[in-house]
Structure 1
Amino acid sequence: MVSESLKHRIADFLKKYPPFSFLEEDELVRLSALARVQFRKAGEVIFHQGEQPEDVFYVINQGHIHLTIEEENETGLVESLDEGDLLGIAALLARRLYLFTAKAEEDCILYLLPWEPFKKIIYTHPRILRFFSSGFSAGMHLYHKRNIGTGLENHDRAAFSAHDEILKIHVAKRVVQCRPDMLVSEAAKIMTEHRVGSILVLDDRQYPLGIITDSDMRKKVATGLFPISSRTDEIMSSPVITASPELTAADAIVLMMRHNIKHVAITEDGTSESAVRGMVSEHDVLVLHGNNPAVLVKEIEQATDLTPLPRIRDRAEQLLRDYLQQNVSIQFIAGTLTEINDELIDRAIDLSIQKLKEMGLQSPDDRFCWLSLGSEGRKEQLLRTDQDNAIVYADPPPGREEEYERYYLALGREVNNVLISCGFQECPSDIMARNPMWCKPVSAWKEYFGRWIRVPDDKAVMHTTIFFDLRPAYGDSSLADELRNCIITYKKKDPAFLLFLAKNAISNPPPLNFFRNFIVEKSGAHEDRFDLKARCMMPLADAARLLTISHERLNSVSTVERYRTLIELEPDHRSIYEEAIRAYGIYMQFRATYGLRNNDSGRYINPQELDKIDRQTLRNTFSTIEEIQRIVRVRFQLDLLR
């Protein structure tokens, strides 16, 4: 038993990390009182692959631990763990031997927590149960497929949990069933005909009485315990575990783990006292896990060539469809797609660098940064629309300018081509890293930024709306910081530049005309279409960029993040900025939904295709644009400049 002061120190540490952060303080203190503290020297093995686990698991307080696996006389690194990570709990959950060897890479302090008391906590706290079961289930799938760890001890667990908790699982409506007095031989024939591994036993009311699986057939019939002429109710497993039609993937995982089963019957009210409406199997859960964002990210990371990347990005688009259909928060969706896109860019660059090396092109300097611009820079690119990207690299030594430019242009071309193969469109204005204009040393970029701010003509202002939304996606982010800092420096020298940005921010009038009809395009390919991007999204995005630059706060990059920053800086305008956040989320959702529906960018919408609710939803947000533009007009005294 630890001392009074030590148990509180342990509790204070644990509460910073999930799943302990989900516990009430008194419960966490009680658990901490049962902990033991252990010191392990660098190089010391905590446990070996194939060992029987003790009745404890570990939490890393200080230090760094490597998990390795030995296969076919080769040792491979599975995971690196550090402060706050859990160690050894997957083996306890699965009741099996350790799959890995855990070795201290530096001196470590570990907290050892007893398994039995914590197991009781898991099963009495749904959120903690979901935390473990999501990662555990996904890891077991990976373990069976590739014979490596459960995935519980990695940093993707929160993404698994969030994905599972919000997605409803597809329920098979066709239920293979039989009556309780049917012979086992007949039931076996039905299972064979339908190519299924289970059959539900239902009564006349379609209420579930039991279930027969392949396992029941093997253990009870094939072994001779029951003759093939037995009735189904003699060999069925009962009671059947049931759930309601609102079952999520996380709920399914929890039920399957808790009851050690592979099938859940879906009934009208979620109990066995109502009619069966469908069935969910372990396979259904694994299929859903295949589109889990953490799985997609991990598959991108593990890609050894470019071949699988387009396929993985296609699955990300299906994930987007699923999220939109189930009304998942648009900010969650944007964050998830940004993580996937960023990982795709990272892998594309790594593989392109490798390809260039094989072609005899060596990087002249590791100090470069891939910049995501425009909507991707703002973390708002849900659909695979135009690429906007660039490269900034360290200033080359005198005489080596052409060498640097040649290499980074080649890299830009390779990466742009990879992204095109993954479905991202080419930028019509060629604002892409392959363009010599947008692949420059940091000094040249600073000259660009300075010129645009000193001479803010229409083209310069257009460039600022794209390039000032820069976000480092790969490489040395300090180069991106230099560019952000120079924006502030040049803005201070030429504050009149903000007036030109302000004029641009109000250049699109409110989206309704005098008769409260949507303002549509008068001619061209999009005649009679409503331009959602220009009429709704750009006014809010442009205003947010302008106002945060005026406050010299450039760390916030997304439009929503910028308005949240403005709420902190200008609390008097809290309500209108909160409305701007809500409106922008609606526009993002509309654009993604209609883009997927029409297989385009989602920018142009036919107002006649909107139902009454959608039309009214959009109309209700337009006053927010007017209010934001009024703030811009007043603050920058634009009415006096007419």
Structure 2
Amino acid sequence: MKNSIAERVCDFLKIYPPFDLIKFKKLLEIAEEVVIVYLEKGDTLFKADQPANEYFYIVRAGAISLFHTENDTQELVTINDTGDIFGVRPLIARENYKLTATANEETIIYALPIKNFQSATENNAKVYKYLITAFATNAYDSYTTEENNAIFKDYLPNTSQDIVNFQTANYTKTPITCAKTSTLQEAANLMCTHKIGCIIVVDNKKPVGIITNSDIKNKIATGKFPITTAVTNIMSSPVITAKKDLTVADGQLKMIKNSIGHLCITKDGTVNSRLIGVLTHHDVLVTLGNTPSVILKEIKRANRTKKLRIARLKANTLLKSYLEQNIPLTHIINVISEINDAVTIRAIEIALKKMPTEPPVAFSWLALGSQGRREQLLFTDQDNALVFEDVPEDKYEETQAYFLQLAKYVTKSLNKIGFEYCEADMMAVNPEWCKSISKWKTQFQNWILSPDDKAILLSSIFFDYSGVYGNEKLVDTLSESIFEALGGSSLFYKFLGSEAIKSPTPLGIFKQFLVEQNGEQKDLFNIKSRGLMPLIDAARLLVLSNQIKNVNNTYERYEKMAEIDPNNKELYESCAYAFKALSKFKTKQGLLHNNSGKFIKLETLTKEEKLKLKRCFKPIHDIQETLKLRFDLKNFI
């Protein structure tokens, strides 16, 4: 006999993630055990610090508000409406609730039994991947799952070894243990001394059991056992084990499958080898809380500059972790670029709310320099511009004043986040960098058709622009006019070429590094001006002279040149590699010294690192020689 209620529940669930990832037969098993709950406005389903129950929930109709309570003050965290999941903490973390759930209006919810759900989805990794990531971001909606899938799909390395590296679990490598012959009192004293919530019971260095605060509360405080009892009487056994190279996702799935909060890491991944660490669900959630999707979600939620800064600082921690795990630099660049753009977008949105009126005309915010090339990994100075639609001459000054004020708010916010003001004032707050589309077109024509050193400096920065926010057509129109003007100026290419070859290979006669000779940076190596900039300038010239549009990143420019000019493929590929290697050196130095990484203290490098650095200079020499021939630069002054 059909269960029509269960089928109706099933038909509803299958529309929403992660239930859309479950086969209908399994989903029907879940639906048959669902409890339907009706709430009046103001009714509370569960409260913060309340012990977790056996259900998690999805809103069928109405809305549920989730509140965080601090110092007797409730702060609204989010409102869940139809199709949104909430109350997942018992499923993922097995902890008391951290938020209070209250009906925002007359509401119907479905309560899904956790045991039943786990049984029906035991081998469905996609379901738990969604729930784990969503739990860390505190967001369970269709948009989030699409965003998370894009992050994981686009930025995961291709090989299985890279995937292992990408999310390697960060476990405790010095676990506190006690012998199998210990008493609980001895074990509890160790836990108290080290301020930990669990202790591993070992026999000949092999894990045989685990004792947690919960065990002590349930088995000792209740009087079931005396404090002097042997640890073997109250420990949970056998322990669940894993290898040291397990991924965060694998660790979390293993915990969910076995309903545990701790994994013992052993030498060979079994209980028959030496204990080398412990992974807790807290470790997993900390790691998941610092993923691209989590950071992007925090950025989009931020309503103040301070919160934007906190989110962007997390990206530096993420960057450091990626470098330590040898994630391919191309993936790192993609991730951090997305985060940088998201920060800028949110800063603009916050600034727009401060303006007295809506923008008078359409506009676009442009990122220039390293952000425009989508290769800005560390905090650097700001380079940006603003282009707005044409207006009548009598309205121009008023319109420009509006956007200059907007730019003032945005650049101030970016400065507080950590992006220094540009010393040369190449920012949208400068009237010279905040113009109408027609005036920008005229400006570029002047730079291109009447080049001089100043024009080359300004235009070369601007040639690496990308639209971050606003009207895309304005950006496209500007690009088309630039390439049209470039078509009739071989002299401009010569000026660009002379800029690209002005810094020769940074090695002296005896192959020693050419370091700074005076000033604060004396004896330091300038990796930006002597290594990166020659490659950046050469790549820019090559794509512009070949009329290649919408390829801004330096290594992608070389990869594109290798594609269209196969005779020089090896040279271009070596330049792409050198750029990525030099960028990695610069980034590591910046993280090490908490600065831009522009100047390197050579004695901090190993012999191997110095040799690798020197190998990057041959492609610089070769590409500069190629430019001299191709653009006839030998006699150009």
Q: TM-score, normalised by structure 1?
A: 0.78
The residue type equivalent to 2:589 in the other structure is: Y
Q: Which runs of 5+ in 2 are unaligned?
A: 1-16, 28-34, 40-58, 68-75, 95-100, 104-116, 157-162
Q: Identify the residue that residue 71 of structure 1 maps to in structure 2.
A: 65
Q: Identify the residue that residue 467 of structure 2 maps to in structure 1.
A: 472
Q: Identify the residue that residue 560 of structure 2 maps to in structure 1.
A: 565
Contact 1:49–1:69 under 8 Å retained in 2: no
Is 1:601 the equivalent of 2:593?
A: no
Q: Identify the residue that residue 422 of structure 1 maps to in structure 2.
A: 417
> Aligned with 1:156: secondary structure?
helix
CA distance 1:548–1:222, change in 2 (3 Å) = same
> Aligned with 2:306: secondary structure?
coil
How many angstroms does 1:169 deviate by?
A: 3.6
Q: Identify the residue that residue 179 of structure 1 maps to in structure 2.
A: 179
Q: Identify the residue that residue 382 of structure 2 maps to in structure 1.
A: 387
How many angstroms does 1:132 deviate by?
A: 4.8
How many angstroms does 1:403 deviate by?
A: 1.5
Take 2:281 and 2:259, find their aligned partners in 1: how far apart are those partners?
Answer: 11
How many angstroms does 1:235 deviate by?
A: 2.6
Q: Identify the residue that residue 551 of structure 1 maps to in structure 2.
A: 546
Take 2:77 and 2:320, find their aligned partners in 1: how far apart are those partners?
Answer: 40
Q: Which runs of 5+ in 1 are unaligned?
A: 1-16, 21-27, 37-46, 52-64, 82-86, 102-114, 123-128
Contact 2:122–2:257 under 8 Å retained in 1: no
Take 2:567 and 2:86, find their aligned partners in 1: how far apart are those partners?
Answer: 49
Taking the TM superposition and a 5 Å limit, the aligned residue runs for 1:260-339 are: 260-339=259-338
Taking the TM superposition and a 5 Å limit, the aligned residue runs for 1:59-98 are: 69-71=63-65, 94=91
Contact 2:63–2:81 under 8 Å retained in 1: no
The residue type equivalent to 1:278 in the other structure is: G
How many angstroms does 1:370 deviate by?
A: 0.7
Take 1:567 and 1:211, find their aligned partners in 2: how far apart are those partners?
Answer: 57
Q: Which moves more between the two structures, 184-193 or 370-379?
A: 184-193
Q: Identify the residue that residue 7 of structure 2 maps to in structure 1.
A: none
Q: Identify the residue that residue 619 of structure 1 maps to in structure 2.
A: 614
Q: Identify the residue that residue 232 of structure 1 maps to in structure 2.
A: 231
Q: Identify the residue that residue 110 of structure 1 maps to in structure 2.
A: none
CA distance 1:507–1:483, change in 2 (3 Å) = same
Take 2:66 and 2:591, find their aligned partners in 1: how far apart are those partners?
Answer: 46
Aligned residues: 560
Take 2:291 and 2:385, find their aligned partners in 1: how far apart are those partners?
Answer: 30
Is 1:462 the equivalent of 2:466?
A: no
How many angstroms does 1:193 deviate by?
A: 4.5
Q: Which moves more between the two structures, 300-309 or 152-161?
A: 152-161
Contact 1:50–1:100 under 8 Å retained in 2: no
Take 1:150 and 1:182, find their aligned partners in 2: how far apart are those partners?
Answer: 51
Take 1:254 and 1:217, find their aligned partners in 2: how far apart are those partners?
Answer: 26
Q: Identify the residue that residue 153 of structure 1 maps to in structure 2.
A: 145
CA distance 1:603–1:536, change in 2 (3 Å) = same
CA deviations on 1:575-633 (whole Å, 9 max, x unpaired) are 22111111100110111111222232211223344321111001112111122122222
CA deviations on 1:317-368 (whole Å, 9 max, x unpaired) are 2222222222222122211111111111111111111112xxxx31343511
Contact 1:530–1:604 under 8 Å retained in 2: yes
Contact 1:138–1:150 under 8 Å retained in 2: no
> Aligned with 2:616: secondary structure?
helix
The residue type equivalent to 1:479 in the other structure is: L
Taking the TM superposition and a 5 Å limit, the aligned residue runs for 1:381-460 are: 381-460=376-455
The residue type equivalent to 1:334 in the other structure is: I
Take 2:499 and 2:18, find their aligned partners in 1: how far apart are those partners?
Answer: 45
Contact 1:170–1:280 under 8 Å retained in 2: yes
> Aligned with 1:153: secondary structure?
helix
How many angstroms does 1:220 deviate by?
A: 4.5
Q: TM-score, normalised by structure 2?
A: 0.78
Contact 2:121–2:127 under 8 Å retained in 1: no
Q: Identify the residue that residue 378 of structure 1 maps to in structure 2.
A: 373
Is 1:536 the equivalent of 2:531?
A: yes
RMSD: 3.9
> Aligned with 2:305: secondary structure?
coil
CA deviations on 1:379-425 (whole Å, 9 max, x unpaired) are 11111111101111111234211211111000111111111111111
> Aligned with 2:257: secondary structure?
helix
How many angstroms does 1:137 deviate by?
A: 2.0
The residue type equivalent to 1:183 in the other structure is: T
CA distance 1:118–1:544, change in 2 (3 Å) = farther
How many angstroms does 1:432 deviate by?
A: 0.9
Q: Identify the residue that residue 23 of structure 1 maps to in structure 2.
A: none
Q: Identify the residue that residue 515 of structure 2 maps to in structure 1.
A: 520
Q: Identify the residue that residue 11 of structure 1 maps to in structure 2.
A: none
Percent identity, aligned pairs only, is: 36
How many angstroms does 1:202 deviate by?
A: 0.8
Take 2:80 and 2:371, find their aligned partners in 1: how far apart are those partners?
Answer: 31
